[in-house]
Amino acid sequence: MSFKPENGNRDDSQGVSPQSGSSGSPPDERYPETQNSPEEEGRRGGRLGGRPDRGLVPVVVVGLLLLALVVGGILLWLSYGDRAGGASVYEDSIESGSEPVVRLMNGPGRVRIEGVEGQENVEISARRYARGRNPAVAKENAADVPVNISNEGSAIELSSDGGRGTGVDYDLRVPSGSTVEVESEAGDVEVSGLDNTVTVLARSGDVSVEDIQGSIGIESQAGDVTVGPVSTETGNAEINVGSGDLTLTDLVVGILEAHVEAGDVALLGRFSGSGSVSVETGSIDVRLPSEDAKDLTFEARVGQVSRDDEQEPE
């Protein structure tokens, strides 16, 4: 007795070829079937369908590099394009009489004013400076920095403000009887040899006032201040310092009012007059003969007052 598989009988009866896809016959071993998992098919599809065009990558990289070079070049030019410095000197002389009022308003730059006995004119020497892409251009720019002068009656006014990267250093020789007023944005101020009133407003820079025989008024926001000698029995000295040290030497004044926000004060030599010296934060060093300081009051809110009374030699 023999038995045939049921499927085999059905296939024979329906005339289905053994190569048919529905046949239960084993597949041809020469062509094995392979079937990928859903994960592998997804990865394969992603590689084929979502892959970016590799030809665009170098173009994008080169474009970014060129952009970086352009931006870097612009920044470099802005930072170092005006590295060269140049200067130009302006000189003038103005008749003024023996007791003019000289007002000077300066931006960046040093100011030096000297009183000359017997002189009746104001001698001006202004060294202007500026920057440019080369020395020749810088010198041309310096020559364009304005020195504004007005002369009305006995008053002479000078001013300069050439803008960013410019400045003027002033040297003035004036009659010793001049009344001098200085306003400086940034730079040292020196005034000497005058018999009349001196007023200085300095926002940044050291201030030196010496050999004065008139009243003085000084306001310094940031910088050291040195005053003396000053000899005026009827004049006063009013000094205000924001941040910086104050040194007073050989003062003969009617009334002294000195105040320092942050810094030290030193009184040296001799003093005649009355008044007060105060410091918010800092110390006061008094090196005067005891009789010279008898009409002075001292106050240091955060700091100390030290006194080294000097005895007059017999």
pLDDT at 52: 54
> Smallest Cα–Cα separation from 282: which of 303, 297, 266, 301?
303
What is the rounded average pLDDT of the residues 93-109?
96
Is residue 289's pLDDT more than 50? yes
pLDDT at 61: 76
Distance CA 282, CA 261 (A): 8
pLDDT at 36: 54
> Smallest Cα–Cα separation from 171: which of 230, 86, 91, 117?
91
Is residue 4's pLDDT more than 80? no
pLDDT at 22: 43
3-state secondary structure 146-164: CCEEEEECCEEEEEECCCC
pLDDT at 253: 95
pLDDT at 207: 98
pLDDT at 213: 95
Q: Name the residue with higher pLDDT: 44 or 244.
A: 244
The answer to whether 173 and 90 have CB atoms below 8 angstroms apart is no
Please write the tens of the pLDDT for every residue from 154-177.
899 999 986 788 999 999 999 999
Please write the tens of the pLDDT for every residue from 127-157.
999 988 889 998 999 999 999 999 988 899 9
What is the rounded average pLDDT of the residues 254-270?
97
Confidence of residue 192 (pLDDT cuts 50, 70, 90): very high
Q: Name the residue with higher pLDDT: 132 or 202.
A: 202
Percent of the chain with pLDDT over 90: 64
Distance CA 176, CA 195 (A): 6
Please write the tens of the pLDDT for every residue from 14-40.
444 444 444 444 555 554 555 555 555
Confidence of residue 273 (pLDDT cuts 50, 70, 90): very high
Pairing type for strands 236-243 and 216-222 reads parallel
What is the rounded average pLDDT of the residues 105-114?
96
Which of helix, strand or coil describes residue 112?
strand
Please write the tens of the pLDDT for every residue from 32-84.
555 555 555 545 544 544 555 566 667 777 778 888 877 776 665 555 555 68
pLDDT at 217: 98
pLDDT at 33: 52
Q: What is the pTM of this model?
A: 0.73
Q: What residue spans define the domains of the chain?
A: 81-180, 206-314
Q: Name the residue with higher pLDDT: 22 or 179.
A: 179
Phi, psi of 275, deg, nearest 5: 145, -160
What tokens does 222 get? 């940031």
Percent of the chain with pLDDT over 70: 76
